[in-house]
Amino acid sequence: MERNASFFTIARSFKAIFLDSYGVVKNHRGLIPGVQGTINYLRDSGKTLRILTNDASRSPEQQAARFEHQGLKGLQPEEIITSGMMAHMYLVHKAKSGRVAYLGTPDAAAYILRADCPSVPVSDIDLDDIDDISAMVFLDDEGFDWNQDINKTVNLLRKRNIPAIVANSDKLYPVAQNDVSIATGGIARLVESILNRNFIHFGKPDSQMFSYAFDHINQYGQFGKSDILMVGDTLHTDILGGNKFGVATALVFTGNTSPDTVDLDISASGIIPDYICPSIVH
């Protein structure tokens, strides 16, 4: 493990750079200051770039427009890979009939759920009329009553043996320098523990997103896993996912991980990045 390395020095050794979005490119304050220069440097150096995000609330097109609005120029939708994309692909092949129930916002449902497969928010479900519910999807941490609708979700999954899909595996996300909020994955983990069930999770650290990104860049060139660097701010998603997929990993301190606790976090988790650097702008 190489510490306090310059990101620019690290990046020179790789042909493709995978970046987490929240905590690497941006955080609760907005864009990381100087990130436009880093993106420009990677492009000028001929690096292939992909953003890998567990944000399932927006499509790649919406993500690219959001980055543009925040001031980051030049990211294309095809360079952004989301956990919502993975969940959508699964539902296209698996949820071919009946209604799909969801926790989340209508906007997230419109992006992820199939137009020809009726979807219904959990709040609108009548638990006495659920025989045609074919899947349950955890989409977002907003758009529902946490008390009533999580309870209803538990009862739905007790009564119906159907696939439960988690479109965002993140358990929490930063909302201020020292504060976090519970994310979709955290809600899903709670329900899993109550029901003693394993749901289908998409997003880092699971391999689907990495496999998709790897196959996607190989449509435009020849890349081996040794050519790729995954950069993230969270050991349990970004770094673990990259390690499991077999690519090099770099941990940064602009999101969930603090330099004050990083040694304890690594020791407690057993998740070891190849590199540690302050941010992607140095």
At 144, list the tokens: 């529902």
Helices (H), ranges, the chain:
7-11, 35-44, 60-70, 83-94, 106-112, 146-159, 184-195, 207-217, 240-245, 262-269
Homologous superfamily of 85-201 in CATH?
HAD superfamily/HAD-like (3.40.50.1000)
CATH 3.40.50.1000 segments of the chain:
7-54+210-276, 85-201
Nearest by Cα to 38 from 279, 255, 232, 228: 279
What is the reported pLDDT for 128? 95
Q: How far apart are CA 127 and CA 33, in angstroms?
A: 49
**Partners of residue 181 on adjacent β-strands:** 173
Q: Is the pTM of this model over 0.85?
A: yes
Residue with tokens 């995978």: 18
The pLDDT of residue 172: 79
Exposed/middle/buried for 1, CB within 10 Å: 0-12, 13-18, 19+?
exposed
pLDDT at 17: 98
- Written as six digits, the tokens of 170 are 């993140």
Fold classification of 7-54+210-276 (topology level): Rossmann fold (3.40.50)
Looking at residue 145, what is its pLDDT? 93
Nearest CA among 87, 84, 109 for reference residue 21: 84
* Distance separating alpha carbons of residues 231 and 96, to the nearest angstrom: 36
259 preceded by cis ω (within 30°)?
Answer: no
Chain segment 175-194, per-residue pLDDT in tens: 776 777 888 899 999 999 99
What residues of the chain score a pLDDT lower than 70?
Answer: 114-116, 177
Q: What is the pLDDT of residue 247?
A: 98
